């Protein structure tokens, strides 16, 4: 793993000038298609409508009746001008976004390791995504921004993925985030799935502690629990659920070093992590991280987008190498 200090030096020397140019272009687009300007225009149009209506009622002989059309015109402007601004901003930003993916991101990935390659048009395959059993059914799948390579004899690939399920009335997002596949040294005879604890379990535990007391709640939980895969690490057992048909396989994986490793990296990434171990692979799903996308509304500089990309990629690679080291 590369250090943050080393990347900061590289950023100053190799990336800063290009990123500042892109930021200037982004600001120019936002100024040209401005929501502030829209707000000012709408305010004065509304004031003008009110004044004309009052004058029309007070001086009907001097003010034409057609002034009533200013109200629906203002309403149409209020509704459709924001849509126009949104569309024009996104269309105008496409060239900057394309340049960012073609120049800055490859440099970041090359800095992390020259053994990694980047293809913005490819991604983790749908077959690989389905094989993990980490997500439910879906009807639409899209993957892009593939990073792959072999680092210290560890094969790794990752990409952004979005999977949706379309219903009768709305669309539900099954997964949206960064997805990684890593080859390991050993082959698992039984699948092990690790997921963040369901929010309802946390809520029920909190209610139980409040109304029944902590000791009674733990006693009830122990009687109701069918999970044989507790690790003995209270923080890990509280934050993650483990699913495996073979307790022996799960126990061999869930060592103190492993559980602390997952907790540490989860804290560093500040994002939910799900893992699936099967055959000789581990699939890692980092929910809510859209790693390689720049947009017209986010500053390249103030939000340190490039540095965030580096940190996420570096951490995923760090998890991959650390997991293999524990095998």
Shared domain check, 216 and 127: yes
pLDDT, one tens digit per residue, over 173-196 is: 899 999 999 998 888 999 999 999
Give residue 198's pLDDT: 67
Q: Are residues 85 and 141 in the same domain?
A: no
Segments forming the whole domain that contains residue 85 = 1-112
Residue 160's H or E segment, with its range, is: strand 154-166
- One domain for residues 119 and 101: no
Sequence length of the chain is 327
Q: Where residue 211 falls among pLDDT bands split at 50, 70, 90?
A: low
Give the whole-angstrom CA distance, residue 285 versus residue 269.
12
Q: 7-21 pLDDT, tens per residue?
A: 999 999 999 999 999
Together in a domain, 292 and 304: yes
Longest dimension (CA), the chain: 93
**Mean pLDDT score, 134-161:** 91
C-alpha span between 315 and 265 (Å, rounded) = 7
- The mean pLDDT of 275-288, rounded to a whole number, is 92
Same domain, 50 and 133: no
- DSSP bridge partners of 285: 179, 274
Radius of gyration of the chain (CA): 27
User: 141 - beta bridge partners?
Assistant: 163
Is the pLDDT at 236 greater than 60? The verdict is yes
Same domain for 166 and 87, yes or no, is no
Determine the average pLDDT of the residues in 126-151: 92
CB atoms within 10 A of CB 11: 20
* Token digits of residue 15: 């990336």
Specify the pLDDT at position 202: 40
Nearest Cα neighbor of 237 from 195, 288, 203, 208 is 195
Residue 223 has pLDDT above 90, yes or no: no
The per-residue pLDDT for 225 is 39
For residue range 99-138, list pLDDT tens digits in order: 999 999 999 999 999 999 999 999 999 999 999 999 888 9
Which pLDDT belongs to residue 158? 93
Three-state secondary structure readout of 111-140:
HHCCCEEEECCCCCCHHHHHHCCCCCCCCE
Residue in the block written with tokens 């390579």: 149
State residue 69's pLDDT score: 76
Give the end of a domain, one of 60, 83, 112: 112
- 112, 143, 160 — which closes off a domain? 112
Mean pLDDT of 192-203: 69
**Co-location of 141 and 41 in the same domain:** no
b or e along 269-286 (b: 16 or more beta carbons within 10 Å of the residue's beta carbon)? bebbbbbbbbeebbbbbb
Mean pLDDT of 201-217: 48
pLDDT attached to residue 304: 78
Tokens representing residue 316 in the block: 């995923």
Span 23-74, pLDDT tens digits:
999 999 999 999 999 999 999 999 988 888 788 777 777 767 667 778 888 9
At 214, is the pLDDT very low, low, confident or very high (cuts 50, 70, 90)?
low
pLDDT at 224 over 50: no
* 157 Cβ contact list (under 8 Å, min separation 6): 124, 146, 147, 148, 149, 180, 181
- The string of DSSP codes covering 60-80 is TTTS-GGGGGHHHHHHHHHHH
pLDDT of residue 205 exceeding 50, the answer is no
CA 105, chain centre distance (Å): 17
CA distances from 194 to 49, 107, 148, 259, 272 (A): 60, 33, 24, 11, 11
Hey, which residues does 161 pair with through a beta bridge? 143, 177
Q: Indicate whether 108 and 233 sit together in one domain.
A: no
Would you say residue 200 has pLDDT above 50? no
Let me know whether 22 and 145 are in one domain: no
Task: Count structural domains, the chain.
Answer: 2
- Shared domain for 153 and 220, answered yes or no, is yes
Averaged pLDDT of the chain: 84
Please identify, among 81, 112, 143, the residue that sits at the C-terminal boundary of a domain: 112
Q: Percent of the chain beyond pLDDT 90? A: 47
pLDDT, tens digit (0-9, with 9 covering 90-100), for 156-176: 999 999 999 887 678 888 999
Same domain, 99 and 125: no
Q: What is the pLDDT of residue 227?
A: 53
Residue 57 and residue 174 in one domain: no
DSSP symbols for 14-28:
IIHHHHHHHHHHHHH
Tokens representing 198?
Answer: 């369901």
Q: Is the pLDDT of residue 226 over 50?
A: no
CA distance 102 to 77: 37
- The tokens 């990434």 sit on which residue? 269
Q: Exposure pattern of 130-153 as b/e (b: 16+ CB <10 Å)?
A: ebbebbeebeebebbbbbbbebee
Indicate if the pLDDT at residue 1 is higher than 80.
Answer: no
> Would you state the pLDDT for residue 180?
93
In this predicted model, what pLDDT tens digit does every residue of 74-88 receive, in sequence order?
A: 999 999 999 999 999
pLDDT > 70: percent of the chain: 88
226 Cβ partners below 8 Å, 6+ apart?
A: none
């Amino acid at each position: 793993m590369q250090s943050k200090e080393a990347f900061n030096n590289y950023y100053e020397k190799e990336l800063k000038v290009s990123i500042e140019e892109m930021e200037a272009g982004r600001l120019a687009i936002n100024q040209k298609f401005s929501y502030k300007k829209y707000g000012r225009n709408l305010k004065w149009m509304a004031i003008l409508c009110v004044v004309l209506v009052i004058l029309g009622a007070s001086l009907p002989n001097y003010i034409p009746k057609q002034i009533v059309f200013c109200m629906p015109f203002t309403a149409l402007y209020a509704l459709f001008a924001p849509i126009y601004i949104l569309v024009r901003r996104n269309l105008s930003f496409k060239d900057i976004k394309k340049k960012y993916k073609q120049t800055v991101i490859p440099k970041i990935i090359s800095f992390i390791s020259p053994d990694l390659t980047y293809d913005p048009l490819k991604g983790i395959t749908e077959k690989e995504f389905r094989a993990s059993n980490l997500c439910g059914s879906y009807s639409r799948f899209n993957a892009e921004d593939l990073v792959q390579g072999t680092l210290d004899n560890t094969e790794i690939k990752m990409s952004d993925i979005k999977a949706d399920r379309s219903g009768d009335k709305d669309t539900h997002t099954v997964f949206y985030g960064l997805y990684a596949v890593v080859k390991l040294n050993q082959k698992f005879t039984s699948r092990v799935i690790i997921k963040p604890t369901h929010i309802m379990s946390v809520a029920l535990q909190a209610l139980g502690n409040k109304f029944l007391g902590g000791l009674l709640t733990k006693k009830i939980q122990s009687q109701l629990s069918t999970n044989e895969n507790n690790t003995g690490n209270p923080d890990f057992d509280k934050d993650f659920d483990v699913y495996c048909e073979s307790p022996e396989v799960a126990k061999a994986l869930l060592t103190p070093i492993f559980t602390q490793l997952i907790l540490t990296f989860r804290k560093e990434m500040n994002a939910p992590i799900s893992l699936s171990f099967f055959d000789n692979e581990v699939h890692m799903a980092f929910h809510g991280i859209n790693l390689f996308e720049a947009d017209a509304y986010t500053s390249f500089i103030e939000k340190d987008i490039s540095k965030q990309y580096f940190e996420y990629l570096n951490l995923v690679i760090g998890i991959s190498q650390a997991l293999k080291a524990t095998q």
